[in-house]
Amino acid sequence: MVLSVVLLQCQKSPTGPQSVKNFYPLDIGNFWLYSSAWGEVRVEIIGYDHLSERSLVFVKRKITSSGSTLQNYFPLRGSADTTFSYLQFIGDELREYTNKKCNLDYKIILKSPLQVGTEWHVLAESSCVYGKLGRPLYVDNGWVVAIENIATPAGIFNDCFEIVSVPLASDTRDIYWFASYVGIVKLENVRFAGSRTYTLKEYRVR
């Protein structure tokens, strides 16, 4: 009876392969605070939920505030935007879902083996949104491009994996640097209007 309970818990657990799990520690209460010249981003793991097919996922809350860092220099009123997403390890992948009612809409955050040259693609034909296009398009593309040492207000992190993520049919991209047992220590959003870089200011992981 005890063995059955243990097996059931293992099957429902959203945690996954050690080689990937170490680079994005998921536990309720973990948080990461990032800062830039334009504001701050706070990412928190706040609980559990279920996808439409009932698999267990971690709930991620992301709070983006603008103007807070510059208020000492410009009389701007800061604003905040809060979004929620859902994280789950599937096989050798860490996936992020924006809609828990559609487990086909996701992007891949990390994929084993974590090494320079590893790449991944998510097909649009598997997506709830793009599933009826009738042709194979990529919703999301990712690559491990380098290993670097990153200096942040929270400390210096060695041997970070630099990962580039490019969405479907877009010239924009997101770049992340992951440190072992910490998570994302630096991120850069590259858009048409320019880029914004955020570095880790404070964090707590278990």
Could you tell me if residue 33 is inside a domain? yes
As a whole number, mean pLDDT of residues 79-86 equals: 86
Mean pLDDT of all residues in the chain?
Answer: 81
Is the CB of residue 128 less than 8 Å from the CB of residue 142? no
Q: Return the SS3 of 3.
A: helix
**What does the pLDDT read at residue 171?**
75
Could you tell me if residue 9 is inside a domain? no
10 Å Cβ neighbour count for 192?
7
Residue 193 makes CB contacts below 8 A (sequence gap 6+) with none
As a whole number, mean pLDDT of residues 173-185 equals: 96
Could you tell me if residue 98 is inside a domain? yes
**What does the pLDDT read at residue 104?**
77
CA torsion 56-176-106-80 (nearest 10°) is 80
Q: Which of 23-37, 49-63, 65-79, 141-155 has the lowest mean pLDDT?
A: 65-79
Could you tell me if residue 3 is inside a domain? no
Sign of CA dihedral 124, 92, 196, 202: positive
CATH code of residue 183: 2.40.360
Q: Taking 60 as the threshold, does the pLDDT of residue 128 lie above it? A: yes
Highest mean predicted confidence (pLDDT) among 46-50, 78-82, 89-93: 46-50
Prediction pTM value:
0.81
- Confidence grade of residue 124 (pLDDT, cut at 50, 70, 90): low
As a whole number, mean pLDDT of residues 194-205 equals: 94
- In terms of Cβ atoms closer than 10 Å to its own Cβ (0-12, 13-18, 19+), residue 186 is buried
Could you tell me if residue 137 is inside a domain? yes
Residue 183 makes CB contacts below 8 A (sequence gap 6+) with 23, 24, 25, 30, 32, 203, 205
> How far apart (Å, rounded) are the C-alpha atoms in residues 171 and 141?
12
**What does the pLDDT read at residue 129?**
58
Residue 47 backbone class (left: φ over 0; alpha: ψ -120 to 50; beta: rest): left
Could you tell me if residue 7 is inside a domain? no
Q: Taking 90 as the threshold, does the pLDDT of residue 162 lie above it? A: yes
Q: How far is residue 153 CA from its own chain's centroid?
A: 20
**What does the pLDDT read at residue 106?**
86
Give residue-wise pLDDT tens across range 57-71. Answer: 999 999 999 864 444
Q: Taking 90 as the threshold, does the pLDDT of residue 93 lie above it? A: yes
Q: Choose between 83 and 140: higher pLDDT.
A: 83
Which residue segment(s) compose the domain that 173 sits in? 14-204
> How many separate domains does the chain show?
1
**What does the pLDDT read at residue 108?**
92
Q: Where would I find the beta strands (DSSP E) of 37-137?
A: 39-50, 56-66, 79-90, 93-97, 106-111, 119-123
Could you tell me if residue 2 is inside a domain? no
